[in-house]
Amino acid sequence: MAITLINPSGLPEVDAYRQVSIATGSKLVFVAGQVAWGADGVTVGEGDLAAQVERCYLNVGTALAEVGASFDDVAKLTLYVVDWTPDKMPLLMEGITRAAAKLGAAPVPPASLLGVAALDVPEHLVELEATAVID
């Protein structure tokens, strides 16, 4: 495995992610921002943040698998959430938890969450991009 995740002493421990990742692989994998599209290009979970978060994580998982990687190889995640407010955190975490159960892994690399005004189309509530390192 090319990624080691740590929480340095002196920084808070956050359940949803680790503060630092150390990458030792030889290839970088950049996954384009994934939205809540099914394989057919139709939006999954319109109006349902948890369902869209789940689909985004599953789509990233699909992209990673195509190149022989998994969430164990992810060094950094960035989430973009439309009209983000802290009260949406339970729905975000629900979607991540559901995706983790289906993926068989807890995706906890360092992550940034950015509130945005809009994404590519009005029905998309979240977008997730990933950077991975593989040997």
* 56, 34 Cβ separation under 8 angstroms: yes
The predicted-structure confidence for 71-87, as pLDDT tens digits, reads as follows 999 999 999 999 999 99
> What is the per-residue pLDDT across 4-59, written as a single tens digit (0 to 9) for each?
988 889 988 888 888 898 888 889 999 999 999 999 999 999 999 999 999 999 99
Q: Greatest CA separation found in the chain? A: 46
Please give the structure tokens belonging to residue 86: 């802290």
Gap between the Cα atoms of 57 and 95, Å rounded: 8
**Which pair of tokens denotes residue 13?**
């421990």
